[in-house]
Chains A and B, each alone.
Chain A
Amino acid sequence: MYSPRIIATLVIRNGHHVQSLGFKHYLPVGSPAESAREYDRWGVDEIVLILTNDSGENARHIISSVADAIAVPLTVAGGIRTLWDAHNYLSWGADKVALNHVLVEQPDIATAVAHQFGSQCLVASVDVWRTGNKLFRYDHWLHSASSVELLDWIHQKIGAGAGEILLNFPQHDGMRIGMDSEAISQVVQDVGAPVIACGGIGTVQHAVDCLRTANPSGIAIGNVLAHFEQSILLFKEGIKTAGAEIRAAVKATYNSHRFDPRGCPEKLDDAKLDELLFHRIEPELI
C-alpha cells in the first residue's frame, strides 16, 4: 500500500502565487515556479495549481514554468472550458487536470476528457458546503450551498470517468481552523476512487487529525506552507512523529528538534550547534 500524499496547493491570481482566504480575498506570495521549486526540493508529494483568473498565453507560461521546475506530479485546476483547454494544459506540462464549475455547466465534458486522456488524468474538484449535518455541493455563483447533495454529485462524476476527487471546503479555506474530517471521512468511506482533502489546515496537528480520522488518499495544504522555510519537511516530520505513515522524500530530518506552537523548529542549544560544525554531510547520490 502507499502513503497518503502531502500535496501543496498554489492558488494563482494574475500570474502570482497568492494566499486565498474564503475564496474571496487574496494575499501575494511570489512567483509560482519559485514556490513550486522550493516545495519540490522540500519533498512535497504532488503540486496542485489553481488558476483563478489567468488564461491563454499567461496560463501557458505559468503551467510550463512550474512543470519545468519540478519532478513531482502536477495537477492544474481552473479555466478549463473545453476538451481543447484540457489538451493544452496537459501538453504544457500538467499531468492531471481538475474540473470544477464546468462539470455543472457542461456535464458531458468529464466523459470526453476521460475518454480522450484516461481517467487517471481527470480529477473532479468539488466544493463542499455544510449546512448542519448535511453536505451539499457549493455553488460558486450563489456563494452558498446548491440543492445538490454531495455524495450524489461525486458518484455521478466518478461514473462519468473521474479518477480522483479533490474536496475543497470554502467554509474552512484560509481559516486555519482544521479540516472537516467528518465530511471527508463520509466521502472516503463511500467512494471507490482516491479522495484528496483541502481547506483549513493551520497546524501540523490539523493534518494529523484528518489523516487519522478520515484516512484520505492525500491532503492538500495551501497558505500555511508559504509561512516558513522547509515547511513541507516540517509538516512531514510532525506527521511522522505523530505516528502516521508518510513518505520521507529527503534525507534531512528534524527528528531531534523541538517545535514551537506554530510548528516551527526551536533553536538548538549552543553545545549542539557547535557539535554540528564538525558533522560531515554526505550529498545524496543520484
Chain B
Amino acid sequence: MRLNIGIVDYGLGNVRSVQNALERLDCRVFLSRNEETLAKADALILPGVGAFHAAMHEITTTGLDAILRRLAIDQRKPLLGICLGMQVLAEWGEEHGRLRGLGFIPGEVKALVPGAGRKIPHVGWSGVALRAAGKNLFSRKAEDDSYYFDHSYVFDAPEKYRAATVAWDDELVVAVAKENVMGVQFHPEKSQNAGLRILKAFTQFTKTC
C-alpha cells in the first residue's frame, strides 16, 4: 500500500527535503493547508524552522490550529512534528513572553541555557537515548545512530511523553510521543539513512492505524 502523506504548509521551513525523503520511501507526498485535502492523507507532517511565535501566528491566523485538532486529535490521524513543528505541539512556548502552543502534548518549550562547553544554538550531530514512549519512532538499534540538530529552544515534556533524550546539562527531550501524535527535535530529512529510518518507522506506524 502506497501511503499519502500530507505536509502541512504554513510557509515556514524547508519542506523540499522532507518531501524528497518521503518520496525516497515510496510515499505520495503533497503540500496543503486545506482541511479537505489534508483529510485525504494517511498521515500528516508538521515541519518548521524559525521562531515559535511566528509559527503559532501563522498557524492560528490560517485556522490550521482547529484543522489540526480535528484531524489529529478527533480523527486520530498520525501526526509527526519536525523541529519547530515538534515544539508547537506543546501547551506553552516561552519566547518573547509566554505563548500558547497547539497543546497536543503536555509540556512547555524553554530556551536552552548556555554554559561551559555548551554552545548555543545546539547545532550538530548527536546520538539519542531511547525511552519507552518512542517505540513507534525508533528501533532498538537506533541508539547507534546520530541525527542532525539545530535549535536554541527545547520541549520540556513530562517523563511519560519523552520518546528520546540527549545528555546535555541535565537532559534534553529530543523526541515526544502521545498516542498518534509525535515529534522530533532533530531533522530526520537531513540525517542521511538514520533519518530515513525514523520516517520509515513513522510510515510503518501509520499502516497499523
Binding site for B on A (CB under 8 A): 1-5, 40, 43, 45-46, 64, 67-68, 71-73, 90, 93-96, 116-121, 163-164, 192-195, 217-218, 247, 249, 284-286
A217 to chain B, nearest CB (A): 6
Segment 90-130 of B: residues with Cβ below 8 Å from A: 114, 117, 119-126
In the assembled complex, B187 has its CB within 8 A of some CB on chain A: yes
**How long is the Cα–Cα vector from A232 to B20 in the complex, in angstroms?**
23
**Contact code string B9-32 (vs A, CB < 8 Å = 1, else 0):** 000001011001100010000000
For this complex, 6 residue pairs linking A to B, each with C-beta atoms less than 8 Å apart, are: A3-B125, A68-B20, A94-B14, A118-B51, A121-B49, A247-B125
B190 to chain A, nearest CB (A): 5
**How long is the Cα–Cα vector from A247 to B194 in the complex, in angstroms?**
12
**How long is the Cα–Cα vector from A121 to B117 in the complex, in angstroms?**
21
Cβ–Cβ contact A71 & B121, under 8 A: no
Stretch binding the partner chain, chosen from B33-41, B157-165, B195-203: B195-203
Cβ–Cβ contact A3 & B124, under 8 A: yes
Cβ–Cβ contact A249 & B192, under 8 A: yes
**How long is the Cα–Cα vector from A193 to B49 in the complex, in angstroms?**
18
A93 in contact with B197 given A71-B190, A218-B124 (CB within 8 Å): no
Find A194's partner among B123, B151, B193 (CB 8 Å cutoff): B123
Cβ–Cβ contact A194 & B121, under 8 A: yes
A97 to chain B, nearest CB (A): 12
Q: Which B residue sits closest to A195, measured CB to CB?
A: B119
Cβ–Cβ contact B190 & A192, under 8 A: no
A71 in contact with B14 given A2-B149, A120-B123 (CB within 8 Å): no
Cβ–Cβ contact A286 & B123, under 8 A: no
Give chain A residues whose Cβ lies under 8 Å from the Cβ of B17. Answer: 67, 71, 93, 95
Give chain B residues whose Cβ lies under 8 Å from the Cβ of A218. Answer: 124
Cβ–Cβ contact A286 & B124, under 8 A: no
**How long is the Cα–Cα vector from A72 to B121 in the complex, in angstroms?**
18
B177 to chain A, nearest CB (A): 21
Give chain A residues whose Cβ lies under 8 Å from the Cβ of B49. Answer: 95, 117-118, 120-121
In the assembled complex, B180 has its CB within 8 A of some CB on chain A: no
Cβ–Cβ contact A95 & B190, under 8 A: yes
Q: Which B residue sits closest to A192, measured CB to CB?
A: B114
B199 to chain A, nearest CB (A): 9
A286 in contact with B193 given A95-B14, A119-B121, A164-B121 (CB within 8 Å): yes
Cβ–Cβ contact B192 & A72, under 8 A: yes
Q: Which A residue sits closest to B20, measured CB to CB?
A: A68
Give chain A residues whose Cβ lies under 8 Å from the Cβ of B21. Answer: 71
Cβ–Cβ contact B50 & A118, under 8 A: yes
Find B124's partner among A5, A93, A116 (CB 8 Å cutoff): A5
Q: Which B residue sits closest to A46, measured CB to CB?
A: B148
A286 in contact with B126 given A73-B150, A95-B14 (CB within 8 Å): no
**How long is the Cα–Cα vector from A3 to B194 in the complex, in angstroms?**
16
**How long is the Cα–Cα vector from A45 to B124 in the complex, in angstroms?**
8
Cβ–Cβ contact B125 & A45, under 8 A: yes
Cβ–Cβ contact A3 & B190, under 8 A: no
Cβ–Cβ contact B125 & A90, under 8 A: no
Give chain A residues whose Cβ lies under 8 Å from the Cβ of B149. Answer: 2
Give chain A residues whose Cβ lies under 8 Å from the Cβ of B119. Answer: 192-195, 217
Q: Which A residue sits closest to B144, measured CB to CB?
A: A248
Find A5's partner among B14, B125, B200 (CB 8 Å cutoff): B125
Cβ–Cβ contact A73 & B121, under 8 A: no
A135 to chain B, nearest CB (A): 20
In the assembled complex, B189 has its CB within 8 A of some CB on chain A: yes
Cβ–Cβ contact A43 & B192, under 8 A: yes
A76 to chain B, nearest CB (A): 12
